[in-house]
Amino acid sequence: MKNFFTSRPLFSRNLSININGQIMDLSVPRVMGIINTTPDSFYQGSQIPEPARAVETAREMINSGAAILDIGAVSSRPGAEEVSQEEELNRLSPVLEALRNEFPDFPLSVDTWRSEVARAVHQQFRVCMINDISAGRFDSKMFSTISELGIPYVMMHMQGTPENMQDSPDYENVIDELLQFFGERVHMLRKRGVNDIIIDPGFGFGKTIEQNYRLLHYLDSFQMMELPLMVGISRKSMIYKTLDLEPGEALNGTTASHMAALLKGASLLRVHDVKEAVETVKIFQQIVESRSNKV
């Protein structure tokens, strides 16, 4: 699979997903806020294990314009060790219960690669989206579970596992290989009747800084998949290492990277800083709308 770059004509895309019977239009990009119930996420500001703080943070994100909240209980930072399923659910449950009590109808996603966790949070807390960093590779039952639950599914590309993904990332052509990967995984999901699929190229997951920036430059190549594209680039090492900063200082670089991703076709930004990301989307939309305005 070669030369899937920006000079090729692109097909129209289905940029909507069904969430709890409601259609969410992603032709205008949306923002997903990150709430981590982990003690060891790479960005300390996203570590919110206490239910009361999670509710406070969620309220702020919703008021700032988040369309979805993504709750995670297992760190996927480089070198992170695996957490048991029991511990993952123990971390998730009190936070999800508090969020559901306070925001009964707001769209919640859970960041997990385990099918049984996906099933449990959907049944107990009406979680309406699963965000899987492994694209079904770590749990062979994930695709059939998503099909059975009938909820949107975000699948991300990662080379290796969180423990070893940054040891020596290697690609002949990172764009071609990711397109091949997603083509195969989407086909498997379609055979199971899954229609609401979002793809995530996996910035920082088994990729060097140079590979990440190549991926960002050619991000519009993924439009040929005719699926919504999620970008999770917020405060990541490709930004803060390039700028010689710490993650907590990388908001400005994140905003610049978000605009680049939007201009290259991102439909959903997964972020730590919702207000700033929503403002970036508004500026982007103004740029887009100016093309049809007569001045």
**Residue 169 is assigned to a structural domain of this protein:** yes
Residue 198 has pLDDT above 90, yes or no: yes
Active site residues: 236, 270
H-type helices in 49-198, by residue range?
51-64, 85-102, 115-125, 142-149, 174-191
* Mean pLDDT on 63-83: 87
CATH number of the domain that residue 205 is part of? 3.20.20.20
Sign of the torsion formed by the C-alpha atoms of 210, 82, 179 and 253: negative
Structure tokens at 201: 């190229």
Instruction: Give 38-59 pLDDT, tens digit per residue.
Output: 875 655 555 677 899 999 999 9
Residue 80 DSSP symbol: P
**Residue 2 is assigned to a structural domain of this protein:** no
- The C-alpha atoms of residue 21 and residue 240 are separated, in whole angstroms, by 39
**Residue 17 is assigned to a structural domain of this protein:** no
**Residue 20 is assigned to a structural domain of this protein:** no
**Residue 5 is assigned to a structural domain of this protein:** no
Residue 155 contacts residue 135 (beta carbons within 8 Å): yes
Residue 196 contacts residue 233 (beta carbons within 8 Å): no
**Residue 133 is assigned to a structural domain of this protein:** yes
Confidence (pTM): 0.90
Residue 177's identity, in one-letter code, is: E
* Tally of domains within the chain: 1
Residue 224 DSSP symbol: G
**Residue 272 is assigned to a structural domain of this protein:** yes
Residue 225 contacts residue 182 (beta carbons within 8 Å): yes
The boundaries of the domain holding residue 121 are 25-289
Task: Note the pLDDT of residue 32.
Answer: 98
Buried b (16+ CB within 10 A) or exposed e, 120-129: bbbeebebbb
